Amino acid sequence: MASHDNRPDDLSSEDDGGFDLRQEIARSAFADMCHDWERNQKYDRALQLTIARLHAEGQEAHVLDIGTGSGLLSMMAIRAGADSVVACEAFRPMADCAEQVLAANGMQNRVRLLKKRSTKVSVGPGLDMERRANVLVTELFDTELIGEGALGTYRHALEHLLTDDVLTIPHSATVYAQVVECPLALGWQQLKTLSNADGDILLRVPPDVVACRGSNAVFDVQLSQLPVGSFRMLTEPVPVFRFEWDNRNNLQLQRSVKSVCRARNAGFPQAVFMWWDLTMDKAGDVLLSCAPYWAHPDFQRLKLAAEQRERRVPESNVIPWRDHWMQAIYFLPLMKIPVQSGHEFTLRAYHDEYSLWFAVGNEDTGNDGAPHCTCGWHIAQSRSRIGQLNDSLRNKRYLNYFERVFSSDSVVLVLSEGSLLGLAAARMGVKQVLLYEPNAISRRCMEAFVEHNSVKNVQFLSSADALEPVTAAEVTHVFSEPHFPSAILPWDNLHYGDLLKNLRPLLPPSVTYIPSSATLYALPVEFLDLQKINAPLGTCEGFDLSPMDHLIAEHSIFTDSPVEAQPLWEYPAYALAGQSRLMEINFASDFEETKAEQGEMRLRDPERLNGIAIWVEWHLDGSHSPKTTISSGPQVPVEESSEELIRWNANWRQGVHLVRSYPNRKATIPWTVKFNPTLSNVYFHFDYMGK
């Protein structure tokens, strides 16, 4: 994420945006980018070199900063000796903030700030810009490089706002692709056949789902955090696209290229890992790379520097961390024949104005545009949810339990959405399965599975109210995974209990609830990097950015939950204590009135605390046995004295409370948890600050 130059111009006041505008400000990536020390230093260095080059040639340096955000790059340009600077920012609250930042640094009269889109800027005497700029500095990029409209913005600026000999910062970008075999990633894309413990197939995947290319939304991932051994590199990184930002003819809105690759290993091409780098100046002296650690050009130098500083970090974290530019995974059409080591094959890369996509083989299959979901599954379900559906250990625990508790007389009410396990129960010989499927797309997906697998004993319910009293009286078991697409935090799936409460008067007293209960757990941690997304800026490269801290903090009060959802497997952390049991919620009894629990955590090193991770464990029965528990938390139990990185389940997002203040940390942290069943909300309070 970068410039907000493509935001609507009408977001000029809180009255226009309300809560959504406050959230947009609180969640903006401006602060995250400003914490990216490498980005800042390399932009600064490129500005110094470029402006000095112009002055050495006897030219003035007139700078245009598109999407200025905080105003940081404009202030760097002034410090580097620019003769004039014009900055534009369309997102009005941030433009107002940039005005305050410029004033705080005494530059309000040296930078001309335009609160509008660059495409609305006029050039000429007495207009927005007195003259065309001969230096353009901007940061218009996202994980996919062009996903925020960089191509269109650059093309307009080159035609209307810049001189023919303009020097752009950055000067160019190169997109890299690496073909891999990665079963872990494929598990987030391609549904697998569901079998029981004996290997008997319960559900086959319909052909149209197998052939579907999936969602066209960019799949941004911290590739450096993929578990070791989870993928095989089939090629070296291949440069597929180069963008020269000062050359309008080079910035085509649609292109395709063909690269001949030699396989370094044998395997099935399943996915492409993508990243890009920026050549910051025309001379090519400054390079900024977004590569994962194994392909990063500065890896060895940064690793040595970390060792000399005695930094306690894994190899994957010695490269500069950033959350606004990650890497991306693109899935390839399935191939039935593997490539062989040393053999050549063709990689095809495509882009339009906003997206990239890839294919392997000689057939040109990509000119119809970016792949999109045709089966419905990738629309109805998230990638992490598809990963859950493919999780063999999770499925085994459910299916083993089903075999023990279901019989040919069982009537199972499934209060979950997109539950293939519910369909599996129908194939295991129960009398009937009632599937709650209120979402039309999800219901069509499930109907396709029913038809393809000839499942006869299934009835769909479009709403909970559709359950007839006569049918409800026959229910022997209520099952939920639980999963609801509207859930963001793990405990949002407690919606299962709310549905159950409303249906309970219709159900027999003897009905069995699966799961019978859920337990909330918390773990105090030291994140290596994640805390930066919530940390104040203060000063940045010698400039006072505190007005931006105040803006984000002000709007966070209205919008930010104390706990947010994050895929913690992507963000390494050390445990500072053992896990704490916060609250158990019983689905047969705990949805009538508010419930509260209190306790405390004892930290072994309070000063390292910068976050608290929270997750849910679902207990299929009352035993709480690991064999009947489904956890959205660590893959292995966390030892209280462990100095190993926590291993999180990669198919779930966990909750995380990021600690905002640092001094006088308590060694013992009192906590309070409240569960409001009426609102289906869980509230957390952690008292970690000393006096």
- The values of phi and psi at residue 47, to 5°, are -65, -45
Sheet holding 344-351, edge to edge: 255-262, 344-351, 356-360
**Which alpha helices (H) appear in 412-521, and where do they start and end?**
420-427, 440-452, 469-472, 495-503
Cα distance between residue 238 and residue 261, in whole Å: 8
- 3-state helix vs strand vs coil in the chain, percent to 5: 30, 25, 45
Cα distance between residue 673 and residue 678, in whole Å: 16
Q: How big is the chain, counted in residues?
A: 691
Q: Is 641 exposed, middle or buried (0-12, 13-18, 19+ CB in 10 A)?
A: exposed
* H/E stretch holding 45: helix 37-56
Active site residues: 139, 148
Tokens 């040595």, residue? 304
Cα distance between residue 674 and residue 681, in whole Å: 8
Q: In whole angstroms, how far apart are CA 88 and each of 64, 119, 511, 547?
A: 8, 10, 64, 18
- Do the Cβ atoms of 233 and 268 come closer than 8 Å? no
Partners of 458 in the beta sheet? 433
Partners of 276 in the beta sheet? 175
- The CA-CA-CA angle for residues 153, 159, 163, to 5°, reads 110
Q: Can you list the positions of beta strands (E) in 115-270?
A: 133-138, 162-169, 172-181, 194-195, 201-203, 219-221, 232-233, 238-244, 255-262
**b/e map 524-544, b = 16+ CB within 10 Å:** bbbbbbbbbbbbebeebeebb
- Do the Cβ atoms of 518 and 581 come closer than 8 Å? no
Q: In whole angstroms, how far apart are CA 272 and each of 286, 317, 344?
A: 27, 22, 16
Whose CA is closest to 361, among 373, 349, 351, 370? 349
Find out whether the peptide bond into 482 is cis, omega within 30 degrees of 0. Answer: yes
Whose CA is closest to 537, among 525, 551, 557, 526? 551
Cβ contacts of residue 434 below 8 Å, gap of 6+? 411, 412, 413, 414, 458, 459, 461, 467, 471, 475
Q: CB count, 10 Å around CB of 480?
A: 26
Q: What is the largest CA-CA distance in the chain?
A: 90
Provide the residue type at 388 as one letter. Q
